[in-house]
Amino acid sequence: MRLTTKGRYAVTAMLDLAIHAKTGPVSLNDISGRQGISLSYLEQLFAKLRRNGLVASVRGPGGGYRLSRGDDEIHVAEIIDAVNESMDATRCNRQGDCQNGVECLTHHLWMDLSDQIHDFLAGITLKGLLQREEVRQIADRQDEDARSRIDTILTTANEQALA
């Protein structure tokens, strides 16, 4: 059982949004640059997140996305559920037809594990993640890397304009 890219990217993007929300709406382009997630993939994820009431879009200059509720009210399990990600450890997608159309010997064990994982993630909020020192350190490094890339681009453009 593993969380797929869709769920990982959705949680990562929402955490990035929560980190940068204090400065106003956050563009998907900015999230894409910091997190290395393609813009088109983010657009698909955020359409689902918006439909599920986790984010709101802000149009116009300086627009982007913002959290629709406080970061203490959005749980990781909600994010994963919103992008139709399943935390399912069974091989039968909880259908009970794992062994020639009937439940296998360990079906209920894997269902219980799936429920435990979901319950664990339902107990973690974006705010809880934001309070972790290692999350803050990584976010600071990503912001510094983004500033450095922008500085390099501007320096190169200025040099080319002067040449």
pLDDT single digits (tens) 64-79: 999 999 999 999 999 9
Q: Give the domains, in start order, of the chain with CATH numbers.
A: 5-131 (1.10.10.10)
Kindly report, residue by residue over 92-146, the tens digit of the pLDDT.
Answer: 777 878 777 888 898 899 889 988 999 999 999 999 999 999 999 999 999 998 8
What was the pLDDT predicted at 78? 95
Cα–Cα distances (Å) from 68 to 14, 63, 154, in that order, read: 11, 14, 34
Q: 63-98: buried (b, 16+ CB within 10 Å) or exposed (e) per residue? A: ebbbbeeebeebbbbbbbbbbebbbbbbebeeeeeb
